[in-house]
Amino acid sequence: MCPEKSSADTHASFLLLVILYLAPFSGLQAQTQEKVFSGPQPGESTTHFDAIELRGDTQGETVDPILENAGNATTLVFVHGLERSMVPLMKVIDAFGERYKTKIKTEWVFLSDDPITSRQRLPIAGRSIQMKGRMLLSSDGIEGPGNYGLNKRCLLTVLTSKENKVTANFALIQPGIADAESILGALAALIGLEKIPDMHSFIDQERMTRRGMRGRGKEIKRKTENSDQQELPGAAPKDTQLIALLRRYIQRTNRPEQVDQILDEVRAYIEGNKDLQKQAMDGWTRVISVQYGTAFARQQGTAFVKEIKNLLESKE
């Protein structure tokens, strides 16, 4: 399963986006996943900042999204640069915001050191990838709002907030669809959903829309509602270190020795901590159920889940 494979029209649209916007970021190279920090951490405040509206009736006006959203549930996505591999993740985040737009605001905040060119080209790029959320250009240039401490190495910094307090932070150097599960979990928790929506329901809905199959709108809605009601086994970890280890584990380029090494790191990290052991068991159960990672990783992961389950049962 590889949900980030795109059709020819999506590829063409992305090429347009690259031509229009990405040239200033060509020096940003893919880097290995590691623990990094970008933006305010959970519990810290989302402070006010100015940004320029890029679309709609208020295009060109300066706004303060924190002031406007008045403490309501908000997703702030700071975009330092773009790669083809991150577009599927962006579409999932954007589609979640569109589906639950009465409960959450989605703000895409682009960062650039060329505001004049960006104001001309970013709206075209937004149309190319059919972005529904509000598109803004930070008034603070490539660094972004000073109080936020954004890390330029992170192509995406995703913040979820409520009552002007950060509830989750995802600092992504090399964002991709593998990050969708954890982000959807944070978004679902933010607006009080009992179950995390299946990310494939967003992907399928976007594909159907792109193909112009609007006559099947009711069918899509039924499929989406049914997907929301289906509970995947396991759960996304809450511990940030476990999340980072899980992201490394499901990389499709991992060799068998890398898979074994990561599992050894996980065992050492969760040793003696029942809560972390439970989170690890649930996290690996979840990614195996959707067949993430290599075949070897899924095989070893299944054995790892049984190992942790037996360990927990022996303590009861």
pLDDT of amino acid 243: 87
pLDDT of amino acid 34: 56
DSSP state of 3: T
Q: Judge contact between 180 and 203, C-beta under 8 A.
A: no
Sign of CA dihedral 90, 33, 305, 42: negative
Burial of 283 (0-12, 13-18, 19+ CB in 10 A): buried
pLDDT, average across residues 167-196 = 93
How many Å apart are CA 144 and CA 229, to the nearest integer?
Answer: 38
Phi, psi values for residue 77, rounded to 5°: -115, 110
Q: Judge contact between 300 and 259, C-beta under 8 A.
A: yes
Q: What is the mean pLDDT of the chain?
A: 82
3-state helix, strand, coil in the chain (%, to 5): 50, 10, 35
pLDDT, average across residues 306-314 = 89
Q: Judge contact between 202 and 239, C-beta under 8 A.
A: no
pLDDT of amino acid 232: 73
pLDDT of amino acid 36: 87
- The 10s digit of each residue's pLDDT in 68-111 is 999 999 999 999 987 788 889 999 999 999 999 999 999 999 99
% the chain with pLDDT above 70: 80
Of 75-79, 238-242, 255-259, the range with the lowest mean pLDDT is 238-242
Tokens describing residue 155: 């192509």
Query: Could you tell me the CA-to-CA distances from 309 to 41, 59, 62, 285 in Å, in that order?
Result: 32, 54, 54, 11
Q: Judge contact between 150 and 38, C-beta under 8 A.
A: yes
pLDDT of amino acid 17: 52
Where do the H-state alpha helices sit in 22-179? 65-69, 87-99, 115-128
Do the strands 74-79 and 105-110 form a parallel or antiparallel pair, or are they unpaired? parallel
pLDDT of amino acid 204: 56
Give this prediction's pTM: 0.60
CA angle 23, 26, 30 (to 5 degrees): 145
pLDDT, average across residues 167-175 = 94
Q: Judge contact between 162 and 71, C-beta under 8 A.
A: yes
How many Å apart are CA 280 and CA 305, to the nearest integer?
Answer: 8
pLDDT at 32 over 60: no
pLDDT of amino acid 237: 85
Q: Judge contact between 37 and 120, C-beta under 8 A.
A: no
- The 10s digit of each residue's pLDDT in 197-239 is 888 877 755 554 455 434 444 443 444 444 444 457 888 888 8
